[in-house]
A and B are shown apart, each in its own frame.
Chain A
């Protein structure tokens, strides 16, 4: 419960980053294209710093029980301790219900991160499958599948989400993950489809056909590996995006519901008086901004490192 316990996630993040860096360095020596790419990523300082920060946030989320000074939902003293500004005892202050904001931000990391990770896992799986099928089959099937995507992409995602969530009423976290995931795959499927279409025309696919490989094998072994870098980049950027979306929805009161803490709904706890209760919205807001930024930086670094024009030195 002391300041010292924060050294644990910090140490975890530093050690893990160093270990990853070492692993990528040795992967870079075997000459494989992935090793080469990750070795390049390793040398991107900003990217590695952002990765370290993400690992730190993840460690905080996992160790929430150890790090949070109080139960995040416990009202300490509604009379004496409501809306207290930051102090040594309550570093992030307390909210209007006298709950400790630091504890809520720490536990909120669990909710916000895991929702984002799971939702992106859903959207990447669906998007990749859909895009790969459309691109690989091609022809009319592809045309129809892509018109469906065009239609879905023409509706702003936030509107779909608000409509669904407002009609649904109180949703469980699992349902929220599914809803976020199932509204997030359209763009990914377009990216994957374009890539599959391009890879399908490559000599190596023709060569694989000429050796008697069947369609499924060609798709899995010769086409999808070429799409992986696109998927990894899309997923990383997608996580940042979903964190923001979930925060927005929770802020509006249709995402993660009280009393469960998520970064978005902690901010809305200050809705009575944002200027006067600045600490209630500032700290979860910082958590959102820094984490999303870190994911975007890592995503950009991955994009540079996995650039297909550099992935196979001629």
Chain B
């Protein structure tokens, strides 16, 4: 008898996920060898700038990549032990919205303007559970209630444009919850909302996660949201994971220079009035990732080695990984002063 695996079984296992877009301008390697696990009931955050591959990663998990995008052979996405990438399309349809649900950044454009929100929420149960109109509607109202919408039975009869942005996002969440999924992918769920509404929606996500025992993949470029919600973080840059750590570790001891840059760029309440730090430059075009370390041309510490050699993920602490040669050559790390950036202190 073999010893039982001491680690709990992962809900979702992503291994060497590569999603390439075969365009006329060349092959865009939008997601290029991403691996991670999502544990049951865990919230995992994915952060990074626009164009770093966060959204393509989530769409790849759902297999919603459209041509010319292709999930390359050898990639694996296992949900509850089944490789989703090998399922026939009709079985994959039974997973979407049922075992894995997704909510998007802009709830207005994600909702159909010509149907009431109740009809749209109910549609999920009609697609997946073959529910009768009546049952589906009742469940839709129940879900709306759960998301904290006042007088849900009346609201269900309204059209998307009659609701506020926060309420629309609650509607999207209600749709996602209809079939009690084990994994919820939230792609920038609060980016389009006011700050006050944002806090409400995040709190709602936490409540329903507890209640439905779901795992959440939270995609955002807002580290503040990550700090509030997630247990573990993946930092993505140029189609790769550059740092993977628990939230506490990441904020206390960021290792990768890109992560440092992101943290430095966060505004802090009560700090001296300083110009926000920025990471110079932009994410390079996905058709032409730089050779070597993909961040080297924007990195304040870069030397010759990352220009030539592509760094693997180094374990820099317990369950803390970083794709940076500084793990092997820590003396190369320079002290970055930001004194020259300070403005307005004397005011």
Chain B binds chain A: yes
Query: Which residues of A pack against B, CB within 8 Å?
Result: 31-34, 139, 202-204, 206-214, 217, 221-222, 225-226, 311-314
Return chain A residues, CB-CB under 8 Å to B104: 203, 206-207, 210
Do A212 and B93 touch (CB < 8 A)?
A: yes
Cβ 8 A contact of B158, one of A31, A217, A313? A31
Q: Say yes or no for B114: interface residue by CB 8 A criterion.
A: yes
What separation, in Å, do the CA atoms of A212 and B124 have in the docked complex? Answer: 8
Most interface-central of A32, A34, A225 (chain B CB within 10 A):
A32
Do A203 and B161 touch (CB < 8 A)?
A: no
Q: Say yes or no for B67: interface residue by CB 8 A criterion.
A: yes
Return chain A residues, CB-CB under 8 Å to B108: 314
The minimal Cβ–Cβ distance linking A134 to chain B, given in whole angstroms, is 16
The minimal Cβ–Cβ distance linking B59 to chain A, given in whole angstroms, is 8
What separation, in Å, do the CA atoms of A32 and B67 have in the docked complex? Answer: 35
Return chain A residues, CB-CB under 8 Å to B90: 214
Cβ 8 A contact of B64, one of A31, A204, A209, A214? A209
Between-chain CB contacts (< 8 Å), 15 pairs: A31-B159, A32-B116, A33-B161, A206-B64, A206-B104, A207-B110, A209-B64, A210-B101, A211-B96, A211-B123, A212-B93, A217-B127, A221-B112, A312-B161, A313-B161
Do A314 and B161 touch (CB < 8 A)?
A: yes
Do B161 and A210 touch (CB < 8 A)?
A: no
6 smallest beta-carbon distances between A and B, as pairs: A211-B97, A212-B97, A212-B96, A207-B110, A203-B109, A210-B102
Q: Which B243-285 residues have a C-beta within 8 angstroms of A?
A: none
Q: Say yes or no for B106: interface residue by CB 8 A criterion.
A: yes
Do A225 and B114 touch (CB < 8 A)?
A: yes
Known: A206-B104, A312-B161. A33 touches B113 (CB 8 A): yes
Interface string of B107-138 (1 = CB under 8 A from A): 01111111110000001100110000000000
Do A33 and B64 touch (CB < 8 A)?
A: no
Do A312 and B113 touch (CB < 8 A)?
A: yes
Interface of A is mostly: helix
Return chain A residues, CB-CB under 8 Å to B231: none
Q: Say yes or no for B175: interface residue by CB 8 A criterion.
A: yes
Do A34 and B114 touch (CB < 8 A)?
A: yes
What separation, in Å, do the CA atoms of A217 and B104 have in the docked complex? Answer: 20
Do B127 and A226 touch (CB < 8 A)?
A: no
Most interface-central of B67, B94, B104, B113 (chain A CB within 10 A):
B113
Do B110 and A214 touch (CB < 8 A)?
A: no
The minimal Cβ–Cβ distance linking A137 to chain B, given in whole angstroms, is 12
What separation, in Å, do the CA atoms of A311 and B159 have in the docked complex? Answer: 12
What separation, in Å, do the CA atoms of A210 and B120 have in the docked complex? Answer: 13
Q: Say yes or no for B215: interface residue by CB 8 A criterion.
A: no
Specify the chain A residue showing the minimal Cβ separation from B187: A210
What separation, in Å, do the CA atoms of A214 and B176 have in the docked complex? Answer: 17
Return chain B residues, CB-CB under 8 Å to A217: 127
What separation, in Å, do the CA atoms of A313 and B162 have in the docked complex? Answer: 9
Do A213 and B123 touch (CB < 8 A)?
A: yes
Return chain B residues, CB-CB under 8 Å to A31: 158-159, 161-162
Interface string of B151-191 (1 = CB under 8 A from A): 00000001111100000000010011000000000000000
What separation, in Å, do the CA atoms of A128 and B95 have in the docked complex? Answer: 32
What separation, in Å, do the CA atoms of A211 and B93 have in the docked complex? Answer: 8
What separation, in Å, do the CA atoms of A204 and B139 have in the docked complex? Answer: 21
Specify the chain A residue showing the minimal Cβ separation from B94: A212
Q: Say yes or no for B57: interface residue by CB 8 A criterion.
A: no
Do A209 and B158 touch (CB < 8 A)?
A: no
The minimal Cβ–Cβ distance linking B279 to chain A, given in whole angstroms, is 29
Cβ 8 A contact of A226, one of B62, B98, B114, B158? B114
Return chain B residues, CB-CB under 8 Å to A34: 114
Cβ 8 A contact of A204, one of B95, B96, B109? B109
The minimal Cβ–Cβ distance linking A219 to chain B, given in whole angstroms, is 13
What separation, in Å, do the CA atoms of A242 and B273 have in the docked complex? Answer: 71
Return chain B residues, CB-CB under 8 Å to A221: 112, 115, 123
Known: A210-B102, A217-B127. A32 touches B94 (CB 8 A): no
The minimal Cβ–Cβ distance linking B224 to chain A, given in whole angstroms, is 25
The minimal Cβ–Cβ distance linking A217 to chain B, given in whole angstroms, is 7
Return chain A residues, CB-CB under 8 Å to B95: 212
What separation, in Å, do the CA atoms of A204 and B67 have in the docked complex? Answer: 18
Do B127 and A212 touch (CB < 8 A)?
A: yes
The minimal Cβ–Cβ distance linking B217 to chain A, given in whole angstroms, is 13
What separation, in Å, do the CA atoms of A225 and B112 have in the docked complex? Answer: 9
Do A212 and B67 touch (CB < 8 A)?
A: no
Extra inter-chain contacts (11) besides given A210-B102, A221-B112, CB under 8 Å: A33-B114, A204-B112, A207-B102, A207-B111, A207-B172, A211-B124, A213-B127, A214-B90, A214-B93, A214-B127, A225-B112
Do B111 and A210 touch (CB < 8 A)?
A: no
The minimal Cβ–Cβ distance linking B122 to chain A, given in whole angstroms, is 12
